[in-house]
Amino acid sequence: MNSDFRQCGEPLLAQTWRNLGFVQVTCLFIYVLHLSTLLSIFFLTLTPLTRLLAHPSSAMEASLLFVGVVGNVISVLVFASPINTFRRIVRNRSTEDFEPSPYVITLLNSSLWVYYGITKPGGLLIVTVNGVGVVMEAVYVALFLLYSAPPLKAKTAVLVAALDVGFFGAVALVTRLAVHGSSRVVVIGLVCAFLNVLMYGSPLCAMIPNGIGFILGTSQLILYMIYMNSEASNLPGESYRESQQQRLIVTNNEANI
């Protein structure tokens, strides 16, 4: 019976695989990634709660544990938030106007936090939640490299090589060779905190040209409101029109000369 099932099932599986295009397979992979995110949230929440129930502690420790679990869950949800964006990218086979920089920087940030959690005693939760982030951001960057246009693909590759490989390797090398003891944890933590500020503040860069344009446009409107009726207020209606006509005649004569 098993051999009959295999004989009937193998052509069906082969036919199904041939009918599935690369886009469908990638979309299926993204759905699996989404499911793994939910499972990660479940296990990240289950382990601390099980420990708390097995070893009851003070109210302060329980509250700190609760805040830590909530923070881990929210962090995983933040990592999972671009999933719909990449479903669109895979469906359209194009990255459109999306930029790779946020995902490359987030991958670097998560990698450094994993390194910090490994270096810091008792940093298991930091390693787990940011390990999930490293996997998800690596998938996002890989999809960017796959579906972006050649110029953007080259830009993404340069960013990955410079930041995710070069900068991370430099931080790991310097902190391992030049920094020792508790100072190593402090230095890595400062670098991670600085990158966190850059990561969450990077969208403000888009406001710089818009802010300058807003200031200049507002200044023009204010000047127009101040001076638009200055000549008209000093002359009656007919005199004002006559003066404009005379000015136009003089301008034309000067141009002819």
Tens of pLDDT along 194-214? 888 877 766 665 566 666 777
Three-state SS for 229? coil
What value does the CA radius of gyration of the chain take, rounded to a whole number of Å? Answer: 31
Q: What is the mean pLDDT of residues 145-173?
A: 88
pLDDT > 70? residue 1: no
Q: What is the mean pLDDT of residues 165-179?
A: 89
Q: What is the DSSP letter of 97?
A: T
Question: How many CB atoms lie under 10 A from the CB of residue 102?
Answer: 15
Q: What is the DSSP letter of 166?
A: I
Phi and psi for 56 in degrees, rounded to 5? -60, 140
pLDDT > 50? residue 9: no
Yes or no: say if 140 and 120 are a contact pair by the CB < 8 Å rule.
no
Confidence of residue 122 (pLDDT cuts 50, 70, 90): confident
Rounded Cα gap, residues 91 and 224, in angstroms = 49
Question: How many CB atoms lie under 10 A from the CB of residue 114?
Answer: 22
What pLDDT score was predicted for residue 239? 52
Confidence of residue 4 (pLDDT cuts 50, 70, 90): very low
Yes or no: say if 159 and 106 are a contact pair by the CB < 8 Å rule.
no
| pTM score above 0.75 | no
pLDDT > 70? residue 121: yes
151 or 18, higher pLDDT: 151
Rounded Cα gap, residues 70 and 125, in angstroms = 12
**What distance lies between CA 127 and its chain's CA centroid?**
20
Confidence of residue 8 (pLDDT cuts 50, 70, 90): very low
Residue with tokens 């036919």: 15
Highest mean pLDDT among 28-32, 60-64, 95-99, 186-190: 186-190
Tell me, what amino acid is at 235?
Answer: L
Rounded Cα gap, residues 192 and 118, in angstroms = 13
Rounded Cα gap, residues 90 and 256, in angstroms = 64
Confidence of residue 245 (pLDDT cuts 50, 70, 90): low
Average of per-residue pLDDT values in the chain: 72
| Sequence ranges of the domains in the chain | 2-211, 212-256
pLDDT > 80? residue 59: no
Q: Which two tokens stand for residue 204?
A: 């403000």
